[in-house]
Amino acid sequence: MRLVYGKWLHVSARPTMCSKGANVETHRKQNIHENKKALRARCREIVKGLSPEYIEEASHKIADLLLATDAYKNSNTIFCYMSMGGEPVTDEIIERALEDGKRVGIPLCVGPHEMVVKEYKSGDELARGAFGIREPLAEATEITADEFDLAIVPCVACSKDGRRIGHGAGYYDRFLSVSGFNKIALCFEKLLTDDIPLEDTDVYMDGVATEDAIYGTRWRG
């Protein structure tokens, strides 16, 4: 209220610098969210056009390139996602890692946006979990994030400089925030793009493996 010519009038408060800044930040986050949503939609259309033959051949080439890296060879404990339709198939990588005597962890969804990692050994029973993805049983031994030397993660799309967009469920956010291990995303060449918006919580990949090359220069070890 303000007294004007003897009358009390309602006067709207002027926006402060803090409120202006908050509005700008809110608008920025909304733009990023909408851009990610549109990118995921475009990538889903691309994936629909990938033939089974292309996925099989490209997955094999990705595995060959990854398994030849020092980051893989020097790792003792490896995290690897269990692939679902339209993603680079990881079975060959997991089987080879076990043959090479490495300890392998795979994800288990335990709640909305939350996962733990369980040790997987050759022949272990798997069950269909969230989104129909193969998962370890709950009683399997848990491996904590600080035990890993290398993490092999999925993506919807990636850029060559290591920007990654996932499916948006948030399962990998906390896991990838741990900085003590190499992180590599597997991505088909047809899903590489420079048009990937980043939020503050997004984590750069140390490498991006496609059927043509491994991009990125952040490898450690």
pLDDT tens by residue, 5-19 = 555 555 555 666 656
The reported pLDDT for the residue numbered 111 is: 81
Any domain includes 28: no
Q: In terms of pLDDT, which residue wins out, 5 or 107?
A: 107
Mean residue pLDDT of the chain comes to 87
Nearest to 138 by CA among 117, 159, 169, 113: 117
What amino acid occupies position 154? P
User: What pTM did the predictor assign?
Assistant: 0.84
HSE-CB of 62 using CA atoms within 13 angstroms = 29
User: What residue has token string 């809110």?
Assistant: 26
Contact assessment for residue 82 and residue 106, using Cβ atoms and an 8 Å cutoff: yes
The reported pLDDT for the residue numbered 107 is: 95
Residues of the domain holding 153 = 52-215
- Domain total for the chain? 1
17-67 per-position pLDDT tens digit: 656 556 766 766 677 778 889 999 999 999 999 999 999 999 999 999 999
User: Which pairing describes strands 134-136 and 126-128: parallel, antiparallel, or unpaired?
Assistant: antiparallel
CA distance 43 to 105: 28
The reported pLDDT for the residue numbered 9 is: 54
Any domain includes 45: no
Q: At what angle do helices 52-67 and 91-99 cross, to 10 degrees?
A: 30
Any domain includes 144: yes
CATH of the domain at 71: 3.40.50.10420
